[in-house]
Chain A
Amino acid sequence: AQTVTQSQPEMSVQEAETVTLSCTYDTSESDYYLFWYKQPPSRQMILVIRQEAYKQQNATENRFSVNFQKAAKSFSLKISDSQLGDAAMYFCAYRSAVSGANSKLTFGKGITLSVRP
């Protein structure tokens, strides 16, 4: 079974600064997808960024980028130029790409990010 570990429960960043959220995972599969989801307080979860395991290039989406280290099974999220609206809970998630496996997401426990004005 796959597991996702987010060992930092909370982080804080100054507005306009950069912050990195850590995530490690464990799997015996070679093909999979990794995601970072954002869950603002009392609001629905939204996708921030995704990474296909077969791609060596790290994904980027505007101010958000990942550092994907497949051998180390590490998948960190970097938020540049942090904004007050980035304050939320962030979840790292894994999805198998194996044929026949269902497409459920396996989530980490999440990290609460606060942004200081």
Chain B
Amino acid sequence: DTGVSQDPRHKITKRGQNVTFRCDPISEHNRLYWYRQTLGQGPEFLTYFQNEAQLEKSRLLSDRFSAERPKGSFSTLEIQRTEQGDSAMYLCASSQGQKSAEAFFGQGTRLTVV
């Protein structure tokens, strides 16, 4: 297993377009998280899945954002009608078991909205 994988690594899009990012967690991990990180800031929680169930969404996740995790495996994060304020690094992380367990992060998808 090569760890958490995110695709694409970079995405440049025009304002108003839709974008979709993919995250492949470590295969045995049941928990999957999406975070957003802007320049000079720490990651901020967006949403959380346990298996295929989306259990929590942050208020940061506006109606233009939607996330899925079909069959409890990979996850997608879609942003509709992108805005310049959506420009950020989108990080995916996964973990398994206890809450003390380490969360493993992917390398992130850097989104630039022009």
What is the 8 Å Cβ interface bit string for chain B, positions 29-69, against chain A (1 contact, 0 not)? 00101010000111111001010000110000000000000
B4, B55, B91, B107: the one contacting A102 at CB < 8 Å is B55
Number of residues of chain B lying within 8 A (CB) of chain A: 27
- Per the 8 Å Cβ criterion, residues 24-65 of A in contact with B are 33, 37, 43-47, 50, 52
Q: Tell me if A107 is interfacial: C-beta within 8 Å of chain B.
A: yes
Complex interface residues of chain B between 1 and 42 (CB less than 8 A to chain A): 3-4, 31, 33, 35, 40-42
Partner of A110, one of B42, B99, B106, B108: B42
Q: Which residues of chain A from 76 to 98 have any CB-CB distance to chain B below 8 Å in the complex?
A: 91, 93, 95-97
Residues of A within 8 A of B (CB): 4, 6, 9, 33, 37, 43-47, 50, 52, 91, 93, 95-97, 102-110
Chain B residues in the interface with A (C-beta under 8 A): 3-4, 31, 33, 35, 40-45, 48, 50, 55-56, 91, 93, 95, 99-103, 105-108
